[in-house]
Structure 1
Amino acid sequence: MNATSRSAVIRQPQDAETIGAGKPVSVRLLIDSNEAGGSSSTVEVTMARGADGATPHYHTLSDELFYVADGELQVMAGDKIVTVGAGGALVVPKFMPHAFGAAPDSSARLLIALTPGVERHDYFHFLERLAQGQATPADIDQAQKDYDNYFLDAPQWWAERNANRA
Structure 2
Amino acid sequence: MALLPIVTAPDPVLKTKAKPVERVDDEIRTLMDDMLETMYAAPGIGLAAPQVGVSKRVIVIDISPEGEGPNPLYLANPELLWVSDHDASYEEGCLSVPEYFGEVARPAEIRLRYIDRENEIRELEADGLLATCIQHEIDHLDGILFLDHLSSLKRNMVLRKLLKAKKSHSLPSYAAAS
Decide: shared fold, TM above 0.5. Answer: no
Greater helix fraction, Structure 1 or Structure 2 = 2
Question: TM-score, length-normalised on structure 2?
Answer: 0.25
